Chain A
Amino acid sequence: MEKSAKPGYKSLLPNIAIHSVFLIYCLLVILPIIMVVIISFTDEGFLNIAGYRFIPGKMNLNAYIYIFTGNVTVLNAYAVTMLVTAAGTILNLIISSLLSYPLSRAEVKYRSRISFFVMFPLLFSGGMVPWYILISKYLHLSDNLLALIVPYAVSSVYVLIMRNFFRDLPDAIVEAARIDGSGEFNTFIAVILPLSKPIIATVGLFVGIFFWNDWYTCSLFISENKLFTLQYLLQIIMNQIAFLQGNDMLRGTLDNLPSESARMAACVLTVAPILFLYPFLQRYIVKGLTLGAVKT
């Protein structure tokens, strides 16, 4: 620490070089995001003439007004995504923590066998097709929001991460609760969970981001417009533009589709929650990444 506190002439130059490398890279990360935001605020007519630019031309809120008043689909998709994310994250946290706590207890005799049962799906999976057939044909969850939630109610990796966390809690706490006459389930709820807030927050964050970003489950099981998630709606809007550009004849008939700026506005609305929450959650994200990598 002290050695870097007084940068002499020798270390000044490399320092500037390093800072400029990072400043340039950070610009490469931020500017594309800013550009999408600018496009979403740019006047449609201006976009059609000038194309996508960094320098804002004629700006207005038309795209957002269009989304919030004219086109209900985007708002609807927002509601669906929030519902799926909230329900999915809560369900996953409840089921995963309930599964991982007993796996951390030494007195559970079959814990290593059950751990293997939990881990094996990481090694071999039946693949996308049987999974798809099971959910759509046998469980009849097509066009049902449960199809977006229930298949991800447990994730083996997070169960193992949570198990490792619970295992590192001092055993004396559980013993003390037991002497006080607390049942195992009660101990878990009243003693262990309050101590495990950091790991619950970290895992919950990653699970939440997963649900928020998931478009592919929706693309497989949902065909009803009302139940589209935001990410899948974005995906569809993008395909439609490719489609539109290829077929000039159809342009008139598909007037109800979002136009250039509205499309980018939908994209901005999709990432906005993540970007706004990021400064507050960043600590947990970094911690979660390190946890997952060190040992799963």
Chain B
Amino acid sequence: MIKTLKNLKNLKVNNPSYNSIMSKSFFKEMKKNKSFYIMMIPGLFVLFLFSYIPMVGVLIAFKNYSPSKGIIGSEWVGFKNFEFFFKSIDAFSVTINTISYNLVFLIIGLAISLMFAILIEQLSNKYLASFYKSVILIPYLFSWVVVAYILFAFLSPDKGFINYVLGLFGKEWISWYGDPIYWRFIIPISYIWKNVGYAMIILIAGITGISKDYYEAAEIDGANKFQQTVKITIPMIMPIVITLVLISAGKIFYANFGDWGMFYTLPKQSGILLPATDVIDTYIYRSLKDMGDFGISSAVGFYQSCVGCVLVLVSNYVVKKFDSESSIF
């Protein structure tokens, strides 16, 4: 037994092929491309520090975290934090809100973007077309805080423009910030107002990429603009549309990258509106910031990350099947 171990050791030390596989080639590579690897160090360090170390922190979800004891020192509580969240009514409502809002954004937002993209490409006046494009894209550059101000100018209960107009028609003023039901419409409208330009620009790039030959051939055959759109443009940009759909669908539970600021800033954190405006990210943010509950908020965060990861992988798998060029990984 000992002899074999010794033999193995000798084998390891003396066998040149073993060394070259493991360490030697590594150091050789490091030496050869030293400057390349040094260049990457700062970036890799930042990623390691701010993206990888927090991954270990998901342990907090299984602990009764107390700041004084630290992550390692805090006691284990198993699935208690998850239990608390999933047994509350919130779990169901924030999950449903997250999914349903994103689906509405996706379907209505893409439909409008697609319509705009097709219509804008029909215009013969290229100057006006690019003017429209620029204007529609403007709100995309605003933060949700700014959009919340613009929205408030319209919806303010006593000074808002909409209530003023309602007053002109002799209608009763509406307390927009007092009833969740309105927000099921206000939120998608705000989203579309801010983001429709983004998808439109991408779809326009796709439409511009379609070869002009198809249209010329169709014209010779006597097809009108509408027929050309239905038979050429739409089928040709379907891959881009489907890719956009799948990528956004994958991102519904995508922690950190989701565009959740609207759910927090637009309703001005009104507690009455929470049934219609609370999504998974705002839930985490509120339990962290307002209640200081690390355990529950990280349990919900872990739930979000896991569902998000599965969704990204599934959607990416489908994208790959459909159009391997457009997949993320």
Contacts and interface: CB of A to CB of B under 8 A. Distances in A.
Interface stretch (B8-16, B92-100, B180-188, B294-302): B294-302
Nearest to A100: B43
A98 interface: yes
Interface in A37-87: 39, 47, 51-54
Contacts of B122: 14-15, 18
Contacts of A9: none
A123 B312 contact: yes
A190 interface: no
Given A51-B159, A96-B43, A32 B137 contact: no
A251 B94 CA distance: 35
A128 B202 contact: no
Nearest to B295: A129
14 contacts: A4-B124, A29-B136, A32-B150, A108-B36, A118-B44, A123-B312, A126-B51, A127-B302, A130-B71, A153-B43, A242-B177, A267-B150, A286-B137, A293-B205
B161 A35 contact: yes
B328 A159 contact: no
Contact of B54 (A101, A127, A215, A295): A127
- Interface size range of chain B in the complex: 35 or more
A244 B281 CA distance: 27
Interface string A263-277: 110010011001100
A99 B47 CA distance: 11
Interface string A208-226: 0100111110011000000
Given A32-B153, A127-B302, A130-B56, A183 B288 contact: no
B193 A28 contact: yes
B119 A126 contact: no
A271 B12 CA distance: 65
A191 interface: no
Interface string B68-98: 0011000000000000000000000000000
Contact of A33 (B123, B150, B312, B329): B150
A195 interface: no
B158 interface: yes
B141 A128 contact: no
B58 A126 contact: yes
B135 A26 contact: yes
A52 B312 contact: no
Contacts of B60: 129-130, 133
Given A47-B159, A102-B33, A129-B284, A19 B128 contact: yes
B33 A99 contact: no
Interface string A106-133: 0111100010011111111111111111
B138 interface: yes
A199 B29 CA distance: 29
B305 A126 contact: yes
Interface string B259-301: 0010011001110000000000100110011000010011001
A130 B58 contact: yes
Nearest to A25: B136
